[in-house]
Structure 1
């Protein structure tokens, strides 16, 4: 859960190479500055809440892309994560059929234009996990 400044600090304090930074990441929350910094360091971004705690599933843009591919909105969002270099999504589900569907994202791909449309959904108030008193100062994604 490190923004860029804490990644730099951890890097300076660690004797071992850092491998990943696990942070909230979904279409409503850009992590562009952090992604750039992690890629420069050869690190991955592990995305928790990749579906925005379900809040992104009813988005019209996501729904339209899902219809075009005959997929679920969750599959489109997980595919969006998958197609980004160095990004790994870890969705949570209580239902076995959702877990199975989450794995079924390799049979299609999103176009560059669809990737841009989904990335363009980011908003300033997109964060859904921000525990008061515990969260660091997050990077401004513009």
Structure 2
């Protein structure tokens, strides 16, 4: 029995280390994706002050307040759908916010000759999830 306790502790520690490493990687990927795709409208700090966003009649949303505006719960699914393009964004109408899901899929299929339908969809999901997790980490 006493031999199991150190083994269990070691296992839990390993899992926590891997989880934090995965979280750091998601944050790194999400941040890079955000800077490349979203910062131009939402700003480097995600508060809505991007250079192109300044030109809109309705200022882009402060993405650091999503949880606060949703009674403290980060609206994970809604954010995912908004990025993917399956959810209409109030104030954007139907076409202002780019449909990143379609862009990511076209990008996956174009750049990788061995990538096909379902594989491309997995790449899209990964890229969107990295953005959603990054935004979740920015909440005030």
Would you tell me which structure has more helix in proportion to its own residues?
A: 2
Would you tell me which structure has more strand in proportion to its own residues?
A: 1
Q: Which has more radius of gyration?
A: 2
TM normalised by structure 1 equals 0.25
TM normalised by structure 2 equals 0.26
